[in-house]
Amino acid sequence: MSKIKGLHHVTAIATSAKRNLDFYTQVLGLRLVKKTVNFDDPETYHLYFGNEGGEPGTILTFFPWDDVDPGRRGASQATEVAFRVPKGSLEWWLQRLDERQVIYNKPAHRFDERYLVFLDPDGLKLELVEVDEERAAPFAGSEVPGEYAIRGFFGVTLTVNDAADSATLLTGVFGYEKIAQHVNRHRYASTDAVVGNIIDLVELPHEEEGVIAGGSVHHVAFRTESVESQAAIRQQLRDLGYQPTPQIDRDYFMAIYFREPQGILFEIATDPPGFTVDEPIEELGTHLKLPEQYEDDREEIEKSLQVL
Ligand code: ZN
């Protein structure tokens, strides 16, 4: 059976591209791994932030739409995105977030971990979770010292009215295992993942559906190793009555999209070819990369994009 290997990337919606870039690279110390456009809306950037190598499981991406309304957290949404940080680093981060006037809560404990919740400039809810093992290399070019730096994703929280069918998808086709529960928070883990292995399902039966707009997660992408394993997963999904898209070429990975039982948009993305397919690793994120179909319109597209 073709298992999912945790998160590949998470894509969210921002307003100002410049403010988004500054926050994720300067405040959080992530690397701008790829600067491209939304393949379905080329007048909008698609910014990818990640670790040194731009590895799957470390990549948070944004569509900055400058005129989008603020979203609202609620049911049928990925409501929180959590990063791994080394044990003992939250005190440094508290000071960092204070200095940069970021809105945050004091550290708390959940299951076995100590974590810190804060908001990005558009209100996207983020978490830093202290972990023992540092499994993904940080971005060496960041001003955040390596001993405190973000090491890829911890996981995401999905808020749903009813967790049962979403859980069946995770433990079935995706091959996740339930590892913990506290009241209405059900924790699932991918046994095959290096980072980004956690999905928390938070069940709130009476929660109103959220609005996906500025500061919201647009979709959650999971990893698979190859085009062949992706095709096999696609077939399994179809057999269960899901309606995945055909395999779509996103230049850096192949993608299929479908809605999970509570309506959250999921993607399954292949590891190959990866972000070094069109830029060497030293130059990741330094050029505006356009998919071939838009290359002839480069001049016009560059003019229509927000100023970084
Ligand atoms: Zn995606």
pLDDT tens string 75-121 = 999 999 999 999 999 999 999 999 999 999 999 999 999 999 999 99
What is the C-alpha separation between 44 and 288, in angstroms, rounded? 12
Residue 263 lies in a domain: yes
Cβ distance 242 to 288 under 8 Å?
A: no
Main-chain phi, psi angles of 97, to 5 degrees: -65, -35
Residue 256 lies in a domain: yes
Per-residue pLDDT at 192 exceeds 90: no
pLDDT above 90 as % of the chain: 95
Mean pLDDT of 260-278: 97
Instruction: Compute, in angstroms, the gap from residue 11 CA to the centroid of ligand 1.
Output: 6
Instruction: Compute, in angstroms, the gap from residue 302 CA to the centroid of ligand 1.
Output: 22
pLDDT band of 1, cuts 50, 70, 90: low
C-alpha distances in Å from residue 292, one per residue of 32, 250, 295: 21, 11, 5
What's the one-letter identity of residue 59? I
C-alpha distances in Å from residue 228, one per residue of 202, 225, 272: 32, 8, 11
Residue 1 lies in a domain: no
Tokens of 191: 């046994």
Cβ distance 181 to 199 under 8 Å?
A: no
What is residue 247's three-state secondary structure? coil
Quick one: pLDDT at residue 43? 95
Task: Count how many domains the chain has.
Answer: 1
Instruction: Compute, in angstroms, the gap from residue 64 CA to the centroid of ligand 1.
Output: 14
Residue 41 lies in a domain: yes
pLDDT band of 3, cuts 50, 70, 90: confident
pLDDT above 70 as % of the chain: 99
C-alpha distances in Å from residue 126, one per residue of 79, 116, 297: 9, 8, 36
Instruction: Compute, in angstroms, the gap from residue 18 CA to the centroid of ligand 1.
Output: 21
Q: Which domain holds residue 268?
A: 7-304
CATH number at residue 201: 3.10.180.10
Instruction: Compute, in angstroms, the gap from residue 220 CA to the centroid of ligand 1.
Output: 7
What pTM value is reported for the model? 0.97
Q: Give me the residues paired with residue 279 across strands.
A: none
Quick one: pLDDT at residue 2? 59
